[in-house]
Structure 1
Amino acid sequence: MILLTGFEPFGGETVNPSWTAARSAARLLQSEGLDVQALELPCVFGESAALLQEALERFRPELVVCAGQAGGRPRISLERVAINCDDARIPDNAGNRPVDEPVVQGGPAAYFTSLPVKAALAALTAQNIPAEVSQTAGTYVCNHVFYALMHALRLRPGTRGGFVHVPYEDSQLPAGSGTPSLPAQQMAAALAVVVRTALVTTADLKLAAGATH
């Protein structure tokens, strides 16, 4: 079973493309015969992680791909690492604004994704979907959920998971704004590619996709 998650809108937005993409990708994968559930998470520290934990216990997925919006990024970002730090530049949807707080008290400094991000990058590039391996998921609710997911999966050795950031959706921006965005359909296709790649890849590719800064 596969679990896809996205977030509710935040920061004054009326839509969140991560949820649009997760929901559409789930439908696409279901049409291919896969057992997939999609879950919308609140953009709230703590509550989002708790809801994800409940979903892990209820569905017992073999694969979890969480998605979030990274407005301003031009590509699908395959996140490599989650850090044990909540540091909110803006309040979440419940008004919480933690600063330099751990996601999990006493947890390790970081967790690496267990998704084959290099293989997924190659698969996305082959389909002309702009993508990158990202070295930071930020310190907002996206990273919070990513870290909480990997912390939970340490006790579920048969389950792999990770996080994908998506850009703005085209419809969120006025014409000619110059801010990077992607069509909703392409973002959904990208998440589906990540899932398909993870299902058939046991060892990730050794492919240069690092960063100099």
Structure 2
Amino acid sequence: MIRVLLTAVEPFGSDAVNASWEACRLVADAPPADLHLELVQLPCVFGKSLTVLHDAVSRTEPDLVVVTGQGANRPDITVEQVAINLDDAVAPDNKGNQPVDEPVVAGGPDAYFSSLPVKACVAAMRKAGIPASVSHTAGTYVCNHIAYGLGHVIATERPEMRGGLAHVPYTPAQAASRERRPSLASTTAAEGLRVLLRTAAAAVQEPRRPDAGAAAPARRTWLSRKLSGPLR
């Protein structure tokens, strides 16, 4: 049986709920068959979120990790191709931290590619009638921080593990309190995540592509020169 760690982020900002957590709770209530699923809520806090994630990975020993977050402007479930080594927060996290132009991991590569079968997951969700798309930017807030941290754990400690990030749109109730924001019912988002998990779990049993989960090549780019400092 494939061991799966599924995570979502706690509410942050002015919201009393987080769309990713609402969807993941429903997945945990009725997980896909043949998957041993563990659900963990991560704090919306730079640094601490990675500590909680690392502890959860050590405790559960998963084959597959899917981290999810809330995508405020996303019209569908977006599966991220890449996470970058940059914390550049447009707003403070839940502890008041607001890093600007700082690395997630000092000295780490510029980016890590997802080791999920990103396009296959998107295709499977669409086939199931659930709106989904591939994304090439996870932003520079806590979700990207978590996804990059996961990529670093895979690259440096657990190369046999697969993992990546998916963003979930606002719930309808969240969107209703804002102007012109897309939304997706939590039940639909949960079903989409179940399809994603089944598709990703099937790939765990297949040989990995040589570039799956690989770090982007080190380059003397502006980003490489700019980022320095401690692990956050």
On whether the aligned pair clears a TM of 0.5, the verdict is: yes
Number of the residue aligned with 1:124 = 125
Number of the residue aligned with 1:198 = 200
Question: Runs of 5+ in structure 2 lacking a partner?
Answer: 210-232
Per-residue Cα deviation, 1:162-211 (whole angstroms, up to 9, x for no partner): 00001101121328953210000011111111110011133799xxxxxx
Q: Is the 8 A contact 2:175 2:182 kept in 1?
A: no
Number of the residue aligned with 1:81 = 82
1:186 to 1:179, Cα distance in 2 relative to 1, 3 A = same
The offset of 1:41, in angstroms, is 0.5
Number of the residue aligned with 1:151 = 152
Question: Runs of 5+ in structure 1 lacking a partner?
Answer: 206-213
Larger displacement relative to structure 2 (91-100 or 185-194): 185-194
Number of the residue aligned with 1:14 = 16
Number of the residue aligned with 2:60 = 59
Matched AA of 1:17: A
Equivalenced residue count is 204
1:175, 1:157 → 2: CA distance? 43
Number of the residue aligned with 1:166 = 168
Matched AA of 1:78: V
What does 1:15-30 correspond to in 2, within 5 Å?
A: 15-29=17-31
2:7, 2:106 → 1: CA distance? 24
1:34, 1:199 → 2: CA distance? 8
Q: Secondary structure at the match of 2:35?
A: coil
2:175, 2:151 → 1: CA distance? 33
Matched AA of 2:195: V
- RMSD of the TM alignment (CA)? 1.7
- State whether structure 2 residue 131 is matched by structure 1 residue 113: no
Larger displacement relative to structure 2 (172-181 or 129-138): 172-181
Number of the residue aligned with 1:138 = 139
- State whether structure 2 residue 60 is matched by structure 1 residue 68: no
Matched AA of 2:123: A
Structure-2-length-normalised TM-score: 0.84
1:204 to 1:58, Cα distance in 2 relative to 1, 3 A = closer
The offset of 1:34, in angstroms, is 2.2
2:89, 2:37 → 1: CA distance? 31
The offset of 1:124, in angstroms, is 0.6
Matched AA of 1:147: Y
Matched AA of 1:134: S
Structure-1-length-normalised TM-score: 0.91
Number of the residue aligned with 1:208 = none
Q: Secondary structure at the match of 2:41?
A: strand
% identical aligned pairs: 51
The offset of 1:27, in angstroms, is 2.4
The offset of 1:29, in angstroms, is 1.4
